[in-house]
Structure 1
Amino acid sequence: ATVRALKMHGGMKKTELKEENAHAVLEGIHNLEKHIETVQAFGLPYIVAVNRFITDTKEEIQAIEDWCGKHGHPVKAVNVWEEGGEGGTALAEELAELIEKKKNNFTYLYEENDSIEEKLSKVAKVVYGADGVTLTSKARKQLAAIEENGWVHLPVCMAKTQYSLSDDPALIGRPKGFTITIRELKPSVGAGFIVALTGSILTMPGLPKKPAALEMDLLEDGSVTGLF
């Protein structure tokens, strides 16, 4: 977790995130709360790692630590952003100790023999806190083809905005009373999963007919041409 992200989920504008606001941190901490519940749903031990940034204040970090302490969540503030791996050593040691002490009760969210729609619905409800999923007519046609080809046993991979628990980037915090719209289902049979495109999310674009790499070359003196 970061102070900046929690303040954004607490309603602050991105241009204001450098300003101290412990109240906004606590307003946005419900987003973190949902992520904790998701980890708990998998039956795994966890620590809330707060990655410090140079603009964070002691009061803002303390607000997170106090909230975690009040609700029984282990928490550790770390300096990975500033110090790299060395700044996370204390966290790694504490996590290793936690793993040794806490029992791993890992469980899946859905069964392999669940229908694709059931798998999508369980992920949406448990991970995102949604009421369920809605499939577009295009997605339903693709679902029928997936069923006909016998790919129903495959797990699902949800492609969704990272800015919200919902499929709407504008819904910050911990939204409730929403559904996830599945607009397209793409089978990645070789990889072994069904990709569900939600909301207006875009996947990485493919290459054009003539990729830029075709014009690139390495000269004898070691210089590169064709980059621009």
Structure 2
Amino acid sequence: MNPTELLGRLRRVRVVPVVTLPQVRHADPLGETLLGAGLPVAEITFRTPAARDGIATLRARHPELLVGAGTVLDRTTVDHAIDAGAQFVVAPGFNPDVVDHCLERKIPVVPGINSPTGVEAAVARGLSLVKYFPAEASGGLRLLDAMAAPYDGMAFMPTGGITPDNLPDYLSRPHVAACGGTWIASTALLAEGEYEAIGRNARGAAEIAASATF
């Protein structure tokens, strides 16, 4: 997958469940639930030991699911993500070492930024998509709109503090490709096996995305 293809798919789904897997066994039913709810995407964070094998499980069992690796902080984790089959990499900040390694390995990377300086760094490397993180804590839409104005070619993926209540406002911005959300498949819901609740959350997010207009 190249960056243009990734951006196109994210613009179609509009919402990305950001998931921290408690155990690898949660990956397969998670993928089935998300697909059944009409939200065929997941960002699996490298915050637990289950991430690498969880990504591999999702890619093997649910090839139609778009699977990214999140919380990627170093080159080694980039390699682990690629080996597991991740289709894109997401980082919480702009680490030049991580970004450059992703470019070398030819995997799309979405680095985190919350300032024009971060956007400039992304532009300098030819990127067209960045993660706006932590979105609400950084200033929410007020900062995002002001920051996006000079950069017509840059798309943003706000993550951090996104909820069903503020999701429609974020998705109404043409510079927002998609939003990341942790509420859809929280670690607590996964640990309790609450896949029906996850499905409801995913369907609700997909419905909001489908009704969003610029």
- Shared fold, TM over 0.5: no
Q: Which has the higher contact order (CA 8 A, sep 6+)?
A: 2
Q: Which has the higher helix share?
A: 2
Q: Radius of gyration: which is bigger?
A: 1
TM-score of the two chains, using structure 2 as the length reference = 0.27
